Structure formats: C-alpha cells, structure tokens
Amino acid sequence: MRKILGFVLPLIAILPLSAFGQQGSEINMREGLWEITSEVKMPGMPMAIPPMTHQQCIKKSDLATTMPSSGPESQECTTRNLSIRGNSISYDVECGSGESATKAHAVFTYEGDTMKGTMKTTGPEGMQMTTTFTGRRVGDCP
C-alpha cells in the first residue's frame, strides 16, 4: 500500500495540469488561483484516507508542461494515450516495469472555473485505488 500511495500522492498536485502537453490551450480553463481537493479510496482499507486540499496558481502556460520523467523512488514514468475531447482529457501513466509497475488511467474535465477528475490506479500485487478530484478557481494568482 505504501508503494502505491507513494506513486499517487506526490502526483496529486500536478496530474490535473501536467498531462495536457501542447494541446492544453484548447481546454476551457480560467487562469488564476485554484483549490484542488483529492480523495483516495481503496477497497479493503480498514480506515478512510482523509481528503487532501491544496491551492495552486494555474496559468495557460502551465498547461504546456509535461509529465515528470521520473516517478517515485526514481522509477521512470511514461504517459501514453493522451486524448482531448472537448473540455475533457484522458491519459495513462505507468511507472516502473514488470510485476512492480504501477499503472493509472486518468480523466479530467474543465469547465471554466471548475474541474472534476478521476484517476484509477493499479499497483503491484493487484492493489487498486480510485482518486477523485474536484477543483475550483478561487481568485487571482498572488
């Protein structure tokens, strides 16, 4: 469980933005200060992981950044199957290889001042989790 959380938790702040690549300007998203909340659910967990909220300044130029080349514990991560349809973007991420690989499929939808997203992750030994994201623009960047 620590390994899969180690993959997902550091990426929560960047996944909704960083996968857009050069096509990000097509997404309907207003620049400014955004508050993003993520909630992780894992089947069979004896206790719930509390939601996490952070604020982040997002500008149109941020949508042109790419996924980091390294994942947790310096594993190589690869983004594949990037698809933009309307205001939704989906993509797959894989970190590591073979039986120790962690894979995720993410879908995010922006609507001006709001955002929703889901990331389904499968880790070693079939461990699974679903992370849901909600975001809203809360003001201008400082």
Encode pLDDT of 26-35 as tens digits.
Answer: 678 898 999 9
**Whole-number pLDDT of residue 75:** 58
Is the separation of the CB atoms in 62 and 71 below 8 Å? no
What are the structural domain ranges in the chain?
2-139
State how far the Cα of 88 lies from the Cα of 70, in Å rounded to an integer.
Answer: 25
Encode pLDDT of 82-94 as tens digits.
Answer: 887 888 888 888 8
Helices (H), 12-73: 15-18
Domain at 2-139: CATH code = 2.40.128
Encode pLDDT of 100-113 as tens digits.
Answer: 888 999 888 889 99
The residues that bridge with 25 in the sheet, in sequence order, are none
Closest CA to 62 of 17, 14, 26: 17
